[in-house]
Amino acid sequence: MTADELRGLIRTVPDFPAEGIQFRDITTLIADGRGLRAAVEGLAGLARAAGAEAIVGMEARGFIFGAAVAVELGLGFVPVRKPGKLPVETIGIDYALEYGSDRLEMDPAAVSPGQRVVVVDDLIATGGTACAAARLLRKAGAVVEDAVFVIDLPELGGASALRECGVATHALVDFDGH
C-alpha cells in the first residue's frame, strides 16, 4: 500500500478539538484491515532498520501500533502509562504540555540496561510526549535513538524537538497543517 493510499484511510475532522485544528483520526485506518496491516508492516520495517530490541508505546494509541509492531518483529512491548495505571513501583517524568503539564510512568524493570528500544506512536505533533518518554526510558537504562510514527505533522515541529532530544524520527505519512 502506498503512502497516498494510507493517507487516504486517515480521516480529517475539521475544528476538533478546537476551531482551526484539523484532527487526523486514525480510527478509519485501524478499521481497514489492509490499511492496518500496511501501517504495522511499515512501522515494523522502520523499527527493524533502527535495530529495535524492544518496542515502546505510549498510552493510548501507541499501544495499538506498538503492540502490533512488537508482535510483527517477535519483540517485547513496553507500555509507558499515564500516572497510577501500573500495579508495581514505577519511575516517572513530568513534562510540559501546551496548556499545563502531564506525567508518564513505567515499570523500570521493563527494560534492561543498554537495551535498544524504539518508540512507536500513531502521530507526532509537537514531540513533547515522545521526548518525555525517551527521557524516562533513558532514566531506566534503555538506549533510545529512534521513534516511528504513522503520521507526522511537520508544521508543529515535533521531529525537530525529538532531534534535540537525540531521537531520530521516521513517519509513514505526513499532513500539511494541524
Residue extents of the structural domains in the chain: 3-174
Domain 3-174 coded CATH 1.25.40.10: no
Per-residue pLDDT of the chain (178 residues; tens, 9 = 90+): 999 999 999 999 999 988 988 999 999 999 999 999 999 999 999 999 999 999 999 999 999 999 999 999 999 999 999 999 999 999 999 998 767 889 999 999 999 999 999 999 999 999 999 999 999 999 999 999 999 999 999 999 999 999 999 999 999 999 986 6
Give me the active site residues, please. Answer: 61, 98
Q: Can you read off the three cell numbers belonging to residue 155?
A: 508544521
The pTM (predicted TM-score) of the whole model is 0.95
Q: Prior bond to 60 cis, omega within 30?
A: yes
- What is the C-alpha to C-alpha distance for residues 85 and 105, in angstroms, rounded to an integer? 8
Q: What is the model's pLDDT at position 96? A: 87
Q: What is the model's pLDDT at position 178? A: 61
